[in-house]
Amino acid sequence: MQELKERIRREGQILSETVLKVDSFLNHQVDTELALRIGREFGQRFGGRGVTKVLTVEASGIQFAMAAGIALRVPFVYAKKKKAITQGEAVYAAPVYSFTRREAYQISIAEKYLGPSDRVLIVDDFLATGAALVGLADIVERSGAVLVGVGCVIEKSFQEGRFLLEERGIEVCSLARIVSMKPGEVQFAGEECN
């Protein structure tokens, strides 16, 4: 997605060769119009595939899952990272190791919001090590739902996330694929959304 790549070049802060900060427009302050256009891109890619639900992990996937849900006219569900007191009912849970926070946590989704009649699109802001999305894919599998694909806003292609998902036969669509980065320079893969 050209607009997204330009924004990353203009506003992205490369904190190291592996960490990109995009919190002026993507995951702290959010450009709402851009988020909706991102949702439409996912809608175009995954439309007509019978998606019944979009899934993400709180917090920074929420705006894009909502935008994709709007485009596909389906609800979105976000996995919680902490068990809420209101979440007394049965849940699907999976352990995840956070690349940015360097700590392990559990994600969970109430069983009543995911089941064998669902066809799921997973959406997230970043695909890095793939830990979060592999955890979500495990939950989808356990629920008996069909995983239609994964849509990521930014993929760091030099990390193993895409490989781990594709190894499981999961279709991955990333709107900006970064092959390498260093301060002042971001290299994108040529192809869009694959």
Q: Which residues bind ligand 5GP (CB under 6 A)?
A: 19-22, 27, 60, 99-100, 124-132, 161
Considering the complex, what minimum distance in angstroms separates the CB of residue 88 from ligand 5GP?
27
Is 194 marked as binding a ligand?
no
Is 93 marked as binding a ligand?
no
Question: By C-beta, is 109 or 128 nearer to ligand 5GP?
Answer: 128
Considering the complex, what minimum distance in angstroms separates the CB of residue 4 from ligand 5GP?
14
Is 128 marked as binding a ligand?
yes
Cα-Cα end-to-end distance for the chain: 11
The phi, psi pair for 28, rounded to 5°, reads -140, -75
Reported as type and span, the H/E element at residue 10 is: helix 2-11
Is 132 marked as binding a ligand?
yes
Bridging pattern class, strands 91-98 and 103-110? antiparallel
The C-alpha atoms of residue 125 and residue 27 are separated, in whole angstroms, by: 8
Is 131 marked as binding a ligand?
yes
The phi, psi pair for 35, rounded to 5°, reads -60, -40
Considering the complex, what minimum distance in angstroms separates the CB of residue 96 from ligand 5GP?
7
Question: By C-beta, is 99 or 113 nearer to ligand 5GP?
Answer: 99
Sign of CA dihedral 25, 179, 166, 45: positive
Residues annotated in a binding site for 5-phospho-alpha-D-ribose 1-diphosphate: 128-132
Point out the annotated binding site. 20, 27, 128-132, 156
